[in-house]
Amino acid sequence: MKLSFIKVPLWCLSCLAAVIAGFIEGILNAQGIIVIAAYSGLLFGSLTLRLVWLRRVAVCMFGAVSLVLAMHLLPGFHNYAVVLEQTISIDAIPFSLYANFDKGLVGLFVLVYFFRGQASADYFQVLQKPITVLLIFFLTPCLVLGLAMLLGLIQIDVKVPVFWLYFLSINLFFTCVAEEAFFRGFLQQELSKVLHGKSYLFIVPIISALLFGIAHIGGGFEYAFVASAAGLGYGILFHITKRIEWSILCHFVLNFLHFFLFTFPMLA
């Protein structure tokens, strides 16, 4: 008698373990579990529904829920505070660091949507225009940080805060992955599908950059402008390579340099 086993992706098991641990630790409550279940259903529908119009509805709802989750607007999550209202740089605004379960969940689910559940071998093809890609990759952090200095948002401030390892881990997996997965892997990719073959396809990275800047408007107009400039660099990288890891790494390198070498998060 042969036993048949259902193959469950590793990310599903990891997510389930995280949800159980989060519930036990009080980071999630019953409302949070319901939100995650509904969000999972939207992801599943976005990937598997055969009716085109119904799948499009599911994709739009999945995108909307991803955004409100990333903005911490849905109930049921009590994110863990690593640092609260701490002044890191002289004359800087206070900084708080949270391990945001909801935003980390968005990063995971949107990446699953981006890869359609599993990355194909074609995704890892030889990089096109490697010199151009590397040039944009290294110029983006330099130009963006220079622009922030010109606008008076930051100044040089070399430091190594005691919680640096927590910051790097949380910033990579809960911030850079989530934001790039949503703005590039979801929004920019879906817009590219709509405008595929059009002569004005080049505007897609610009649109994703502007939306990225608007999402940071809470820091002020100048901060949103700098964020848009950064988003344009990330968007162009994704547009050229079609590979999300390049925009994620560029985003992380910029934040890394900002954290250790300049006023963080910005001057008061």
Q: Which residue has the tokens 């739009």?
A: 60
Every domain of the chain and the residues it spans? 78-261
**Rounded-to-integer distance, Cα 122 and Cα 118, Å:** 12
In this predicted model, what pLDDT tens digit does every residue of 92-148 receive, in sequence order? 999 999 999 999 999 999 999 999 877 777 777 777 788 999 999 999 999 999 999
| Inter-residue long-range contacts of 202-206, CB under 8 Å, 24+ positions, other chains counted | 202/239, 204/235, 204/239, 205/232, 205/235, 205/236, 205/238, 205/239, 206/232, 206/235
* Radius of gyration, CA atoms only, the chain: 20
* pLDDT in the model for residue 67: 96
Side-chain-side CA neighbours of 129 within 13 Å: the count stands at 13
In this predicted model, what pLDDT tens digit does every residue of 155-167 receive, in sequence order? 999 999 999 999 9
In this predicted model, what pLDDT tens digit does every residue of 170-197 receive, in sequence order? 999 999 999 999 999 999 999 999 888 7
Inform me whether the pLDDT recorded for 205 exceeds 80. Answer: yes
Tokens representing residue 147 in the block: 């622009």
φ, ψ of residue 52 to 5 degrees: the values are -60, -50
Tokens representing residue 18 in the block: 């995280």
Tokens representing residue 34 in the block: 């319901």
Q: Dihedral sign for Cα 99, 61, 115, 11, please.
A: positive
Encoded amino acid at 264, one letter: F
* pLDDT in the model for residue 1: 47
For residue 93, count CB atoms less than 10 angstroms from its CB and return exposed for 0-12, middle for 13-18, buried for 19 or more. Answer: middle
